[in-house]
Amino acid sequence: GNSVTQMEGPVTLSEEAFLTINCTYTATGYPSLFWYVQYPGEGLQLLLKATKADDKGSNKGFEATYRKETTSFHLEKGSVQVSDSAVYFCALRWVDTGRRALTFGSGTRLQVQP
């Protein structure tokens, strides 16, 4: 079945450091890929997405490229801020008999220190 594997956290960085959070997936066909962010005490918010190979999703300085050959969708940001501290979830969706459910990774907590 479909699955998503994320690097374990927490990831602790200083402000303005470069961020990479690794995400790899296992899926049949060509899933759509997503990154969601969860700030403390809140629900998940869509951060960025990509629907086909070599697509690059971007938002708020974050980027991720859909790499079919390595089945990866790593999240990157060139310079993190304290306000980026949150839990980040990689997810995929493959339209499986119309279910349209997202499969999530286990989440990676990012802590950015001033």
Residues forming contacts to another protein in the complex (CB under 8 A) are 6, 32, 34, 36, 41-46, 49-51, 89, 91, 93, 95, 98-107
Q: Give the shortest CB-15-to-another protein separation in angstroms.
A: 27
- 12 or 45: whose CB is closer to another protein? 45
Which segments within the chain are labelled E, that is strand? 3-6, 11-14, 19-21, 23-26, 32-38, 44-50, 56-59, 62-65, 75-77, 86-93, 102-104, 108-113
Q: Name the residue nearer to another protein (CB basis): 21 or 107.
A: 107
Per the document, the length of the chain is: 114
| Shortest distance in whole angstroms from residue 44 CB to another protein | 5
